[in-house]
A and B are shown apart, each in its own frame.
Chain A
Amino acid sequence: MNLRRDVFQAIADPTRRAILLLVASQTMTAGAIASNFDTARPTISKHIQILTECELLYQEQSGREIYYHFNPNKMKEVAEWLMPFAKMWDERFNKLENIMKKYKAKK
């Protein structure tokens, strides 16, 4: 799998997490987001671009301005990324349990 941007890498950065928190509370333009940080504007733009590319944020044009929205569905996906690993083990252990229950019955 070769995703251009890894969602996990995207949320690993503290500035990007701060941006997500900001936008989650209110839709904002890139300028409004940047005004909350001391960091240079192009750096913030780059962060916004990464968050948009991995779909944690999405854009909406309103007149001349572009507003950024938070995408909770993508975030939910991230929160559940451990699920497939847990499921894999759970299925394996269910199998163990079933086999041993039959084993017990046979004895």
Chain B
Amino acid sequence: MELKTKINAEDGKQELTITREFDLPLELLFKAYADPEIVAQWMGTKVVKLENKKQGGYQFETSDPKGNKHVFSGAIHDVIPNKKITRTFEMENTPFPAQLEFLEFEKITDAISKLTMHVIYRSVELRDQILKMPFAAGINMAHNRLQEIISKLKKNLLKTKILNLNL
């Protein structure tokens, strides 16, 4: 399946580019980044703070199923409406340092717009580690599912044994 989102991460570089074309006019795409209520909807986070302006800042908060809070925040360096946002991004309370993000919004036609995210990491190693996280999570999930199945199997085996004993 062809994804609409393209990732370009060259070997040995500490940066990557994420590009995506949207079936949306440029103004609506930009609004999705500027309006706190809309950001909250598509990011699936609570927007604690969003000051989209030069020397502004933002703070998003999510809770995982265990009730742990995760905070994502950054400083906003520059905003040119319908054109670009320059900001930092950091996952608080993790070993990952801040990354620098250049977001560029482009009009392709009246109904199609394009977003280019140029992200710069502190090191090549960190970039690669962050790139692999969803991949690793996938493996972990598959592993957990396997564990679940195995533990269920064991329980069923145990039940069968008990049944046999009762008979």
Known: A99-B32, A99-B38, A103-B28. A92 touches B134 (CB 8 A): no
Pick the residue among B5, B44, B115, B140 that contacts A1 (CB under 8 A): B140
User: What CA separation (Å) do A94 and B115 show in the bound complex?
Assistant: 13
Could you tell me which B residues sit within 8 Å of A by CB distance? 3-7, 9, 18, 20, 22-25, 28-29, 31-32, 38, 41-44, 115, 128, 131-140, 143
- Would you call B42 and A84 a contact (CB within 8 A)? no
User: What CA separation (Å) do A94 and B43 show in the bound complex?
Assistant: 11
What residue of chain A has the Cβ atom nearest to residue B20's Cβ?
A93
User: What CA separation (Å) do A8 and B25 show in the bound complex?
Assistant: 40
- Return B33 CB to nearest CB of chain A, in Å: 9
List B contacts of A90 (CB < 8 A). Answer: 3-5, 20
A sample of 13 more A-B contacts (CB under 8 A), given A90-B20, A97-B23, is A1-B143, A81-B131, A82-B131, A86-B7, A87-B3, A89-B7, A90-B4, A93-B5, A95-B44, A96-B32, A99-B41, A99-B42, A100-B24
Known: A8-B128, A86-B5. A93 touches B38 (CB 8 A): no
Tell yes or no: A104 within 8 A of B by CB. Answer: yes
List B contacts of A88 (CB < 8 A). Answer: 134
